[in-house]
Amino acid sequence: MLQNLESDIQNKWAIPANNTVSPSVVDNIKQNNKSSPKNDSNIPEVQDNQNNKIQDFNPNIQNLTNELENNSNIPIQVNLPNELYNQSQHQQKQHMQMSYHDIICDHLFQCFTHSIYTDLKIRFQGGIIQDTTFFLHKIICIRSPLLAQLISETEASQMNLRYPVLDIVLPINDMNITAKGLSIALGHLYSSYAHHHLLNVENVNSAEHSALLRSVLASAHFLRLPDLCNIAANLIYNNINRNTVLDYCHFVNQPNFITRYDEFSKNIYDCVYNCLCKNVVKELTELNRQDIWQDREGQGYKRLIELFSELPFEWMKKVVESKDFIIPSEIDRYYFAKELISLRAQKQSPVVIGEENVVLAFGISKNSNITILRKSPKPATGSQERKVWKYMDK
């Protein structure tokens, strides 16, 4: 009965009987043995090659690099598609080029992204993230001075208690911190792969990318990671342009911003000011291939007016009145300010509070010969009393 079953299986699946091999395999064996005659002395070599191929399933082991290079000329005995085989070879070369440090970092980062063997649970609460939880590893998170202190204090308070996972609740007051920014900052503790995500801006909206950079800076500063703060800040400096400067202007206009992120706050503030005074005009001039001040009906001039109409009053006044603002003459500055204020009044933008006006007066300000004023709105009591505020640089 077993013999009949075996015969049926061989007939159904075309399995060769009597331990014969298929012609394709025979051809492969003949091809492999052309350079050396078949004898018993070759058996150990074949076994070594098979062992090497088994080990090749873990290409991250640095000690196998030489063996892989030595065996790279062995003919392939499996009929793989050329594309699949080439892809496999490319991946092997990439793994061989990885250093041992890279392999360890890759392993740690995989443990972070997949939450493997975690012994720390941190719940971030507050800000705009409300309640976000990360499962992490204490031995890695102590790289952050803030987390190291919290872990030490929590373990000291729970000395007589044995929990498999340490649970910490961490309040957040910075509205610039997002869950994605925190994820990149925490991932930076494990390896550099996390912040490399910031450099990949393909198919990413410029506003979303600039918001992510600001969030990473805020998150890194919160976790006391100066190296990541430097990386994020340098990317922000280069990211401030005519398309993103408005968002960064609102960013630096937040209360107490100038002292919030140490020296990075002032550097970002200066970059925003420089972009509004100089770079925006230069970018629009290059884009339109002509001086935007020579054609007030041109697209470049209209874009400049549109951008400035969205600025907070303090920034609009500071830039337009500044000697650093690129403009041909004081008369051009005066007419630009009048047209700008008129557009702001028409749009009824939320940044416009009260009545704005511009006066041309020589000798009043050290910056320029125009002064932009804003009248406070009428009191709700119906009183006719109004105050005129002058924003003058000291």
Beta strand 355-360 with 370-375 is: antiparallel
Domain boundary among 196, 224, 239: 239
Q: Specify the pLDDT at position 14.
A: 45
**Per-residue pLDDT at 228 exceeds 80:** yes
SS3 state of residue 264 = helix
Residue 80 inside a domain? The answer is no
Q: What does the pLDDT average to over 367-390? A: 62
Q: Are 277 and 322 in contact (CB under 8 A)?
A: yes
Q: Specify the pLDDT at position 99.
A: 79
Residue 102 inside a domain? The answer is no
- The span from the CA of 313 to the CA of 105, in Å, is 48
Q: Are 236 and 157 in contact (CB under 8 A)?
A: no
Backbone φ and ψ of 341, nearest 5°: -65, -35
The verdict on 291 and 381 lying in the same domain is: yes
Using one digit for the tens of pLDDT, what is the confidence trace for 105-162?
Answer: 888 888 888 888 999 999 999 888 888 999 999 999 999 999 999 999 988 887 756 6
Least confident of 64-68, 350-354, 373-377: 64-68
- The span from the CA of 294 to the CA of 290, in Å, is 8
- Tally of domains in the chain: 2
> CB neighbours of 157 closer than 8 A, spacing ≥ 6?
none
The verdict on 234 and 125 lying in the same domain is: yes
**Per-residue pLDDT at 324 exceeds 90:** yes
Q: Specify the pLDDT at position 366.
A: 58
The verdict on 156 and 218 lying in the same domain is: yes
The verdict on 389 and 276 lying in the same domain is: yes
Beta strand 166-172 with 120-126 is: parallel
The verdict on 192 and 272 lying in the same domain is: no
Task: Say which CATH number the domain at 151 has.
Answer: 3.30.710.10
Q: Are 175 and 127 in contact (CB under 8 A)?
A: yes
**Per-residue pLDDT at 67 exceeds 80:** no
Q: Are 210 and 247 in contact (CB under 8 A)?
A: yes
- The span from the CA of 13 to the CA of 96, in Å, is 40
Count Cα neighbours of 222 within 13 Å in the Cβ-side half-sphere. 23
Q: Which domain range does residue 279 map to?
A: 263-394
- The span from the CA of 369 to the CA of 53, in Å, is 80
- The span from the CA of 87 to the CA of 92, in Å, is 9
Q: Are 218 and 126 in contact (CB under 8 A)?
A: no
Q: Specify the pLDDT at position 230.
A: 95
Share of the chain above pLDDT 90, in %: 41
CA neighbor of 27 nearest in space, from 65, 75, 60, 63 = 75
Q: 359: pLDDT confidence band, cut at 50, 70 and 90? A: confident
- The span from the CA of 239 to the CA of 245, in Å, is 9
Q: Specify the pLDDT at position 353.
A: 64
CA neighbor of 313 nearest in space, from 227, 372, 382, 359 = 372
**Per-residue pLDDT at 43 exceeds 60:** no
Q: What does the pLDDT average to over 74-85? A: 43
Q: 352: pLDDT confidence band, cut at 50, 70 and 90? A: low
- The span from the CA of 369 to the CA of 311, in Å, is 21
The verdict on 226 and 272 lying in the same domain is: no
Q: Specify the pLDDT at position 356.
A: 84
Residue ranges of alpha helices (H) inside 71-113 are 82-97, 100-113
Q: What does the pLDDT average to over 236-251? A: 94
- The span from the CA of 63 to the CA of 76, in Å, is 22
Using one digit for the tens of pLDDT, what is the confidence trace for 273-292?
Answer: 999 999 999 999 998 888 88
Share of the chain above pLDDT 70, in %: 64
- The span from the CA of 286 to the CA of 45, in Å, is 68
- The span from the CA of 79 to the CA of 22, in Å, is 13
* pTM of the shown model: 0.68
The verdict on 372 and 309 lying in the same domain is: yes
The verdict on 225 and 312 lying in the same domain is: no
CA neighbor of 168 nearest in space, from 156, 180, 183, 177 = 156
